[in-house]
Amino acid sequence: MKQIVLLPGDGLGPEVMAEAVKTIGWFNKNFSAGLETSTGDIGGCSIDKHGVPLSDAILKKCREADAILLAAVGGPKWDKVDYAIRPEAGLLKLRKELELYANLRPAKVFDALVDASSLKAHIVKGLDILIVRELTGGVYFGEPRGIEKLPNGERRGVNTQVYTTHEIHRVARVAFELARKRKNKVTSCEKANVMESGKLWREEVTALHQAEYKDVELSHMYADNCAMQLLRNPSQFDVIVTDNLFGDILSDEASMLTGSLGMLPSASLGGIRPDGKRAALYEPIHGSAPDIAGKNIANPLATILSVAMMFRYSFDMMKEADLLEQAIENILNKGLRTTDIMAEGCKKLSTSEMGAALLGELDALKSTKVAARA
């Protein structure tokens, strides 16, 4: 059996998770997928019940799992809680404790949603980029850090951008491996022109490429240029690999090319453990959306697309991942929409109706395939 820990979290989390769970159930029933789920608290709901955003018991469960599926954490109810035990601290702790160093953020534009982008349709049509962001190093964690008072009364804030060979190689390796399964192209981004850490990043990515991945096309780009190129000609990219800070910004920029927060999944991967398993957390990129939580109008597809990523990256279930993504594409092509992606002439569905429509489409696709084989 494949053990999955479900962390619905706060706000719209439980609503979108419920639809993801039905999808997982569909694959168990129709493909004997052997996916076993258990549920835990994280974020605000965990603070309310256990006094902490991530309890040791849930952390242990996550450590032992084959994959984790999280919906979202946070909300105004916990805005005044001490920074160290805020809902988001639970998520940061999970990423840190499991050493999830590679964050995968696909930005894919479905044909049916091409007009949702803020860019012109001909620029984003067919777009399919994967950003691999280093997640556990760099300036967000580097020492020294802090705010100090200077003798002249001024204050000084310090953060340190720092990377080691090992940290660069392991994330670049993920990018090269994934590129081999896509269009075989990696663009590595840093600021080697003005930062020593960027110079090291470029040298080490180049060295790894020469030693192990010569078959993959590699180019280097300054991160500021990459920000511009993502708007000018995003289709030039396949896999982009970059550090924590630049990745934070570039992946948010790339996600906006698709125009729909409710459609974007992500994965955060750790190293291969001694038992041969890789720690992995799958989650939509959106937050807990307190403005629409509890109304049954949230888009569950980002969470369900995160399930497709889980099939692909944790369980090697490529056929199932393709089928799930195809079913999503089909329902969009049929004009079925939740409020956030609603367009003229389309049919508006609630969260649960979207989940049900997806199961119906999966049934239809399965019988078409069976009929085609007969």
Which among 66-74, 133-141, 243-251, 366-374 is the span making contact with ligand NAD, rule CB under 6 A?
A: 66-74
Which among 73-81, 202-210, 312-320, 329-337 is the span making contact with ligand NAD, rule CB under 6 A?
A: 73-81
Please give the Cα distance from 369 to 373 (Å, whole number): 6
Q: Which is nearer to ligand NAD, 52 or 298 (CB)?
A: 298
Please give the Cα distance from 6 to 14 (Å, whole number): 10
Q: Does the annotation count 316 as an active-site position? A: no
| Residue 258 engages ligand NAD in binding (rule: CB under 6 A) | no
| Residue 128 engages ligand NAD in binding (rule: CB under 6 A) | no
Query: Exactly one of 248, 282, 313, 340 is catalytic; which is it?
Result: 248
Q: Does the annotation count 111 as an active-site position? A: no
Task: Count, in order, helices (H) and strands (E) of the chain.
Answer: 12, 14
User: Which amino acid makes up residue 48?
Assistant: D
| Residue 46 engages ligand NAD in binding (rule: CB under 6 A) | no
Which among 151-159, 165-173, 282-290, 321-329 is the span making contact with ligand NAD, rule CB under 6 A?
A: 282-290
List 22, 31, 88, 329, residue binding ligand NAD (CB under 6 A): 88
Q: Does the annotation count 77 as an active-site position? A: no
Please give the Cα distance from 363 to 215 (Å, whole number): 40
List 82, 275, 291, 344, residue binding ligand NAD (CB under 6 A): 291
Nearest-approach distance from CB 16 to ligand NAD, in angstroms: 6
Q: Does the annotation count 277 as an active-site position? A: no
* Closest listed residue to residue 308, CA positions, set 114, 159, 110: 110
Q: Does the annotation count 140 as an active-site position? A: yes
Which among 117-125, 197-205, 211-219, 286-294 is the span making contact with ligand NAD, rule CB under 6 A?
A: 286-294
Please give the Cα distance from 95 to 99 (Å, whole number): 6
Residue 227 CB: number of other CB atoms within 10 A?
17
Q: Which two tokens stand for residue 25?
A: 């159930």
Footprint of ligand NAD on 198-237 (CB under 6 A): none
Given a contact cutoff of 8 angstroms between Cβ atoms, the answer to whether 326 and 42 are in contact is no
Q: Which is nearer to ligand NAD, 168 or 264 (CB)?
A: 264
| Residue 266 engages ligand NAD in binding (rule: CB under 6 A) | no
Q: How far is CA 341 from CA 36, 113, 180, 323, 333, in A?
A: 32, 8, 32, 22, 12
Got the DSSP string for 154-218?
A: -EEEE------HHHHHHHHHHHHHHHHTTTSEEEEEE-TTT-HHHHHHHHHHHHHHHHH-TTSEE
List 58, 113, 279, 302, residue binding ligand NAD (CB under 6 A): 302
List 23, 117, 187, 288, residue binding ligand NAD (CB under 6 A): 288
Q: Which is nearer to ligand NAD, 283 or 361 (CB)?
A: 283
Given a contact cutoff of 8 angstroms between Cβ atoms, the answer to whether 201 and 191 are in contact is no
Q: Which two tokens stand for residue 316?
A: 């090697």
Q: Which residue ranges make up the site for ligand NAD (CB under 6 A)?
A: 12, 16, 72-75, 88, 91, 261-262, 283, 286-292, 298-299, 302, 340
Active site residues per annotation: 140, 191, 224, 248, 252
